[in-house]
Amino acid sequence: MPDHVAICDFCKKGGVIRSSKEIKFRQSTDKGFVHCLVTMQVGVCDHCGSWSFDQGADKILEEAFRREYDKLP
């Protein structure tokens, strides 16, 4: 395994491959469900399939939520 590939924090066997992924999520609010779609960098273990997110992922998800929430009547 190349030196630049991180080892999976969950299974400790696989390598984590970073790539852009589209992530869809929804959240219940006082205005009903907010549906969001965001593209962001994630790491996926090539052994167990676990996903990991870069630092700052929470901010990206929160901004996507806020943008869609503000569109609701």
Fold of 6-71: Ubiquitin-like (UB roll) (3.10.20)
Residues 6+ away with beta carbon under 8 Å from 67? 36
What pLDDT does 1 receive?
Answer: 45
What pLDDT does 5 receive?
Answer: 72
Q: Which residues of the chain have pLDDT under 70?
A: 1-4
CA separation for the pair 4, 61 (Å, rounded): 27
Place of tokens 């996507």: 64
- Tell me: the pLDDT tens digits for 29-44? 999 999 999 999 999 9
What pLDDT does 54 receive?
Answer: 86
What pLDDT does 66 receive?
Answer: 97
